[in-house]
Structure 1
């Protein structure tokens, strides 16, 4: 194609040769097609997505904003802008690039609107804010293409739903607008592509780039425990890890939680104080300026060891990084690929990842990851279905900007993937909710947000205050109740959860941002601190940080349990051999249930290997069904491999068990009886209320406290439950608890799988290696005691290991 001459010249001048998938993408774009680029990370997908539009803009110059490049992270826009400016400046193309995010100054935003760029880099939230402007139609009417980066990360969240709705508006302005999504790690490609382009187009899927070479290695302990428990290895491998780390090799050290990152940073720094100038900590609760400084330090090669969380998962280009360390199981195959891809982030690069297990079973989890990769199995990402809170926010956005016409909205929703089955009744409910406060809030003027203009047929904000509050509240990322942490001189450090700070008293020392901090006072949602040299083990914890094992990885783990593991069998023998001696090691077709009697009662251990969320629901469901047959009170513990139900002495679990335990009938109702789903739903409603605009979170610099938000949303929840039980937001809160927190669809799927398997009941003389971590979970949340958890675990292990050795000796004799 002659239009590609400027692009080919750029590659020729750089002595590069375009990859076939890049040429294919450029040609597809120039033909007017839309679709998805499925390209490994660091393989050149950014140029694959942008050079086609650049070729068109150079061939047919037009004024105005013509391309939107949407990224999930503001930090990505800086790297992308530099990457895209390179060919523009080198070839002196008459094209302009601009970034517009929450960090962009107001003066620069105004300048961008007066003199629009050809391509704008932005985020889902900033695009929605742009649509909420009165001149949105004039600004966006010439947009020809929208590029969606890291689509797998966005699609399965409310941010993805927000993008779908924003795209539906852009398509109403220009039905010919093209959409290209990009993803490196997703399995349901057809669905992901269709969600991106909408129902009105047939997407093209372009795959290419060589599969990244992954060098996955495990840091093995010299010996492993026969009775492992969550986290028991972890820091015990610190010396071995330091032997592996090279001060001259740029390395990202990933943990799964912010608390773990803080702990590992402190541990490594205390053992290698000379590395302090070359080390840093990075997680989402640190102040933005601190995170950006760390990112810049990585790019420039100044920082060598950075301990981080998922805050660095996505595609920031850190070319100096040569190695990645993963502490603890990633719990997802895709997450392992994503993190490994942070190293050697360039075409043809070989990613190196060192896995540090935090318990002995996790050694097998990495074997499961390897098997899944070999079999080319990776987790799908599913779009949400009809989140009403996001729709209400979008309707307000349209009203604030071009004006909301329900007939136009109805047509555009039918072209989306997630909202296509919206009913006229549901859309009318949304209209009533925004204009009159619905059935329940009609008497409160602040909920009469929209008014109808007869002359235009559009809904508009009732007043300027409504519009202002809405623009400040746009977005679907709802933060937990957090408190800013600042030094007494007011320099900011980051934020921690309100619940953590509320437990501190003046003079208490805690570790945060890699520093020892002494609490001084709490004022206006800011915790003032000063530096301290005192030792402390107190580290903030954050909700929502722990990942359950994915369905894909759970399946692979069931398959590898009984396989041979060359080079590992001898190391794993104490663990797997003890499991076989005391019970059985279940294969992929065997469903293991263990029963153990102790002085506390009867313990039932069940092993579906489906992840903590599924097991929580299953434990409550089976607990309810046992209690229906013989009423009693149970206690529960769950982990990623199974769950424990503890009943009174002589409670006959096996005698009461029958095929009805696999039944899906009344599943939701029965789980609800046991789990108090109403309370979970009320907690979920708080997030929904904020997204839907029911609760105003406060002005910049003076946010409402978590308690204020909780009281506001709880009051609304109770009012709706009592006076409007069919309220769509109440229904949504229940649906989200069932689908997200309890994964009810996976519970049903798991019950069907378990029923089809061979069930083996084993009566234990002492807990097996699979049962032990569940007992530890129960101990951790159990009765108060002067004995520390570690001391109690050590005492029980010693007792059971002796009993196991005695019984093994008896069998041999």
Structure 2
């Protein structure tokens, strides 16, 4: 169990182990919070733990001052100035974009307290000169990413590099936990603890629900080691969540219909303060809103900027510096600015569209009033009027502190294979010793002996299917010592270039024919462009000229009409916590309760919904049967998020079709799904036959989908992480199509000739869990089966079903005609709504 976290009263004193920190805080006009002192005491006592506190309340210095105080206690009169101490502290950050801010924040007390430490970062943005220097000697404190740490562990002198390591601090642990990058961090920490058993580990987290799980995943389970602490920052943080209400409420809204129609209200909100961040959920939205704001306020040119991960590093640095200095009035950004250490607090934070989760909203709200005691306010801008329900539900979640949990990833064998090769490079290993080390992590605590033997066989022989190919025999066993090593320089080079778990579409540089590099876009986007096509990128209208040498060459254009890059990530699903709050809000509305301005605004929509069909209660599954000229529609509303509904739609169609031959066309959104068929589906018989049953789920879901093809695509990521395919050397990378072909070939070979291949099994498991959220899908079915099914037969499409109808229509017609067609559909429905029928 976690140690108690109730802070004890303490007053600053000029003496004692915490005195230097107290004096440094006082010189800055600050006073340490009790939780900060608690962490300092715990660190000096040799403890590890997890710090949980709101953004902007002092987590960074809570973690950092412990190592500083330890040094000052060891050298009260000062240490010799030269040489600087060897590596003592590792600071792991999930984003390399945070490294510069982190360095600046950590450097301040070092300089002002006179510590002879060196402080540097090591990420993908680190210059070749600094990297070269670090090959000889690492700084006293190193800010790095999980990938760069794994690279350090692959050096043959790795153990010597970390011989003086005292502590590892993992920033923004909630961003890593529940991902393969988090598991990669767990494995690296286990390796370091095997060398430095007294090493302390501290994690920092602002928004996570399952704190004990997070602590256990971070600290591992080393025999004889205390479980560690959870220290909660008991600093009150006032969060205000509100929304901009559209001036006109349409009773039949559809996803994205508002677009930039809310632009005047957004401009007014920005003008309320000196600085603002406008957050979006996708990079394409960032580009759209940046252009719209600039067109609405040309006088803001030079005072407004955009920020997302595809922009060039120099451009992002310029934007971040502008935020710190106050030179920029507004920045339009994606999650690339969610996190951060030393940005000046902005006056206004706006969120375009639903945040889809309480944690994400809290994280973004924290950029406003980013200092202790200040009020953090976030204003949501709906892109669909129905998103106002989500805003109201999110406010309930914030008030109830119903923050989403991050479920840990269990036993990803592709990453374990990568780690085994890394350790073999970094001095080698004995199998039993490494197995014991790996099992100290939360992710691999349940690793089976057969799974471990399979991984060893895979890295040494390539497994049963690849044993005839020497290039897959990456690790060899030394006959004299029995140690597993990497001796081939080509294998070593390829492995070091492939370390990591981030697998995405290949990046293509965007550069002027005569001029600067602007950033990168995904290869799949460039593949759709023809010479002369126009698109907006980095806030500039561009004309595509050609692609050559992994670079998309462009020129400026004055014609702003064109394509907008649509990067991945546009479909963030509704979180389970926010979905539960949304269902509760709808239940209130079903009783005639409309709390707050958002619910009052959408009352006309829900009034029509209640009149034509029903507003479902939290324990009800609403199914609407509607007949149109298109056929027979089943609109089903579990309110569980898009990914769950994608799996449910296929599952329901499969189970119904087992009763009678019938074909369906699907559409789904975060609220529900549509099943369209030429003839009426036998719904009543299907419900009696177990349509909502959670039994046989693991058999029915793969059978209802093209699960093999989905697994084949998922295998691309697994193959890359496990080292089966190589993405290529710099400036000569393989295309996504090539990688997919290579990984697809392996998938087919393993499926046919090596049916026991555990990477293929992992691909199927990840499809179920990551793409379809099968665990949540099962819980949803259990909830629906225990509740009440309400079937209505509306004469026409009700408001909640209308967005589902539009989504399917949008896929069937061209983008130029979809708006006109939707408007015609709405006019008919509005006429009936006006008559009260």
The interval holding the TM-score normalised by the smaller chain is over 0.9
1:570 shift after superposition: 4.3
Match of 2:362 in 1: 337
Maintained 8 Å contact 2:655/2:686: no
Match of 1:798 in 2: 827
Maintained 8 Å contact 2:52/2:204: yes
The equivalent position to 1:417 in structure 2, one of 424, 431, 442, is 442
Maintained 8 Å contact 2:350/2:381: yes
Match of 2:332 in 1: 307
Equivalence map 1:195-234=2 (5 Å): 195-200=217-222, 201-234=226-259
Match of 2:33 in 1: 19
Equivalence map 1:578-617=2 (5 Å): 578-617=608-647
Maintained 8 Å contact 1:234/1:327: no
Maintained 8 Å contact 1:99/1:120: yes
Match of 1:286 in 2: 311
The equivalent position to 1:189 in structure 2, one of 188, 193, 211, is 211
In structure 2, the residue corresponding to 1:51 is in which secondary structure?
A: helix
1:722 shift after superposition: 0.9
The equivalent position to 1:31 in structure 2, one of 45, 51, 57, is 45
- With 200-209 and 433-442 compared, the bigger mean Cα shift is at 200-209
Equivalence map 1:687-706=2 (5 Å): 687-706=717-736
Counterparts in 2 of 1:457 and 1:315: CA distance versus 1, 3 Å: same
Counterparts in 2 of 1:786 and 1:405: CA distance versus 1, 3 Å: closer
Match of 2:184 in 1: 162
Equivalence map 1:322-401=2 (5 Å): 322-401=347-426
Q: Are 2:174 and 1:122 aligned?
A: no
Q: Are 2:811 and 1:781 aligned?
A: yes
In structure 1, the residue corresponding to 2:168 is in which secondary structure?
A: strand
Maintained 8 Å contact 1:601/1:646: yes
Q: State the TM-score, normalized to the length of structure 2.
A: 0.94
Q: Which runs of 5+ in 2 are unaligned?
A: 1-14, 80-84, 589-593
Counterparts in 2 of 1:223 and 1:248: CA distance versus 1, 3 Å: closer
C-alpha distance in structure 1 between counterparts of 2:121 and 2:54, whole Å: 25
Cα deviation code 1:711-753 (max 9, x no counterpart): 1111111111111111111111111111010000011100000
Q: Are 2:438 and 1:408 aligned?
A: no
Maintained 8 Å contact 1:113/1:139: no
Maintained 8 Å contact 2:404/2:576: yes
Match of 2:101 in 1: 79
C-alpha distance in structure 1 between counterparts of 2:362 and 2:630, whole Å: 44
C-alpha distance in structure 2 between counterparts of 1:749 and 1:425, whole Å: 31
- With 700-709 and 198-207 compared, the bigger mean Cα shift is at 700-709
1:320 shift after superposition: 4.4
The equivalent position to 1:757 in structure 2, one of 779, 784, 787, is 787
1:247 shift after superposition: 8.1
Maintained 8 Å contact 1:39/1:184: yes
- With 287-296 and 633-642 compared, the bigger mean Cα shift is at 287-296
In structure 2, the residue corresponding to 1:698 is in which secondary structure?
A: coil
Maintained 8 Å contact 1:58/1:94: no
C-alpha distance in structure 2 between counterparts of 1:548 and 1:278, whole Å: 33
Maintained 8 Å contact 1:261/1:281: yes
Maintained 8 Å contact 2:94/2:145: yes
Counterparts in 2 of 1:159 and 1:176: CA distance versus 1, 3 Å: same
Maintained 8 Å contact 2:166/2:198: yes
Q: State the TM-score, normalized to the length of structure 1.
A: 0.97
Maintained 8 Å contact 2:631/2:678: yes
In structure 2, the residue corresponding to 1:253 is in which secondary structure?
A: strand
1:787 shift after superposition: 7.3
Counterparts in 2 of 1:214 and 1:509: CA distance versus 1, 3 Å: same
CA RMSD of aligned residues (A): 1.7
1:80 shift after superposition: 1.7
Match of 1:111 in 2: 133
Equivalence map 1:591-670=2 (5 Å): 591-658=621-688, 660-670=690-700
Counterparts in 2 of 1:569 and 1:349: CA distance versus 1, 3 Å: closer
Match of 2:709 in 1: 679
In structure 2, the residue corresponding to 1:657 is in which secondary structure?
A: helix
C-alpha distance in structure 2 between counterparts of 1:459 and 1:490, whole Å: 49
Equivalence map 1:466-485=2 (5 Å): 466-485=491-510
Maintained 8 Å contact 1:720/1:730: yes
C-alpha distance in structure 1 between counterparts of 2:54 and 2:522, whole Å: 36
Q: Are 2:34 and 1:5 aligned?
A: no
C-alpha distance in structure 2 between counterparts of 1:720 and 1:78, whole Å: 44
Aligned residues: 807
Q: Are 2:511 and 1:486 aligned?
A: yes
C-alpha distance in structure 1 between counterparts of 2:814 and 2:270, whole Å: 40
